[in-house]
Structure 1
Amino acid sequence: MPADRFVEQLNAQIANEFAAHQQYVACAVYYDALTMPQMAGFFYAQALEERDHAMMMVQYLVDQDSAVKIPGVAAPQTDFADIVEPVALALEQEKRVTEQINQLTRIAREEYDFASDQFMQWFIKEQVEEVATMSDLLTVVKRANDVEAIEDYVQRETAGEGADPTAPAVAGGA
């Protein structure tokens, strides 16, 4: 059974992941309205990833016979000054999530909760990838001279990404 401190913090992280989901939907809608289908699709996919992260955490708590608290979340930012701002926001969000994931891992280790520590290892790997992806995208969006260059980059760089077979189970997943 996971340590109480870990369960409490993982439930808080479920809220953070659902909030990230909502924020990415808002970013996707912004790009959709600008007729930037590649950027919109990228952020819609990111939103689903964040939702799945929350549901992986839910499944872990269910599997561990621990209490799950499904939270409400604050409304996301929906107005942006330009096409750079949503990506900059996303990068800051991913950096913040990385800190939260590291804190969860620290708690598991302090509590000698080895199963929870092991569970968090996939999320650590995932956050390295997420920060790198958003950092690269921010560089491209800032540097690009036109929308088409941004759209081409996103299409080229996100083609062929598949599911990670090492990912934890998603609650309600097949």
Structure 2
Amino acid sequence: MTTKFHQLLQAQVRNEFSAAQQYTALAVWFDGQDLPQLARFFYRQSQEERDHAMMITQYLLDNDIPPVVPGVDEPRNDFTDAVELVSLALQQERAVTEEITTLARTARDEDNYLGEQFVQWFLKEQVEEVASMTTLLNVVKRAGGNLFDVETWLARETTPGSPDPTAPRVAGAGA
């Protein structure tokens, strides 16, 4: 029998895959503008969102809840400038934060201690994601249209981190 929490987790798998597709669309736009640092940043974001979907999938599998691999929302592909793209990314991260908060609240309301513990990592992750996108948006705005300054900033200030040892397991990661 599935609970509301488990139903929301299933929906979150779709949300995470949709977010991954949207980040891919942003990365491709930047790649098409010959902005490799911005493209790389958003390709990484896309992979992170896919990993989040697969972490939730692994949790469902581990708890004998048959996961459903969903379709995804159509990503937006039409953009005019970098501020618009990064604003969309920030808006997306804020929406995901609300979704994860709802998951945590629902797990708590259902006395699902394992579910609540599982969601804690995602809450921490969302604080980092919103902060990162907020900073990037501020940098893009301050650059005043000079995206080469943004490229230089990204090259200097961002490095791929090592995997978080506290992160939930990603389904298929060892395959």
Category of TM-score, reference length = shorter chain: over 0.9
- The equivalent residue for 1:34 is 33
- The equivalent residue for 1:166 is 166
Distance 2:69 2:160 in 1: 33
- Per the TM alignment, residue 156 of structure 1 is displaced from its structure 2 partner at its CA by 1.7
Asked whether the 8 Å contact 1:56–1:170 carries over to 2, the reply is: yes
- The equivalent residue for 1:135 is 134
- The equivalent residue for 1:8 is 7
Distance 2:83 2:162 in 1: 27
Task: Report the TM-score, using the length of structure 2 for normalisation.
Answer: 0.96
Asked whether the 8 Å contact 1:80–1:86 carries over to 2, the reply is: yes
Is 1:45 the counterpart of 2:44? The answer is: yes
Aligned-pair Cα RMSD in Å: 1.1
One-letter code aligned to 1:67: P
1:1-174 equivalences in 2 (<5 Å): 4-145=3-144, 146-174=146-174
Question: What's the % identity of the aligned pairs?
Answer: 54
Distance 1:74 1:97 in 2: 14
SS at structure 1 position matched to 2:81: coil
My pick for the range that moved more, 88-97 or 149-158, is 149-158
- Per the TM alignment, residue 154 of structure 1 is displaced from its structure 2 partner at its CA by 1.1
Q: Please give the per-residue CA displacement for 1:122-161, whole angstroms capped at 9, x wherever unaligned.
A: 0000000000000000000011041221001111221242
**Consecutive unaligned residues in structure 2, runs of 5 or more:** none
One-letter code aligned to 1:151: E
My pick for the range that moved more, 121-130 or 63-72, is 63-72
Task: Report the TM-score, using the length of structure 1 for normalisation.
Answer: 0.97
One-letter code aligned to 1:150: V
Asked whether the 8 Å contact 1:7–1:67 carries over to 2, the reply is: no
**Consecutive unaligned residues in structure 1, runs of 5 or more:** none
Question: What is the number of residues matched between the two proteins?
Answer: 173
Change (3 A) 1:25 1:128: same
One-letter code aligned to 1:162: S
- Per the TM alignment, residue 75 of structure 1 is displaced from its structure 2 partner at its CA by 1.2
Distance 2:42 2:160 in 1: 16
Q: Please give the per-residue CA displacement for 1:72-97, whole angstroms capped at 9, x wherever unaligned.
A: 01210001011111100000000000
Asked whether the 8 Å contact 1:20–1:93 carries over to 2, the reply is: yes
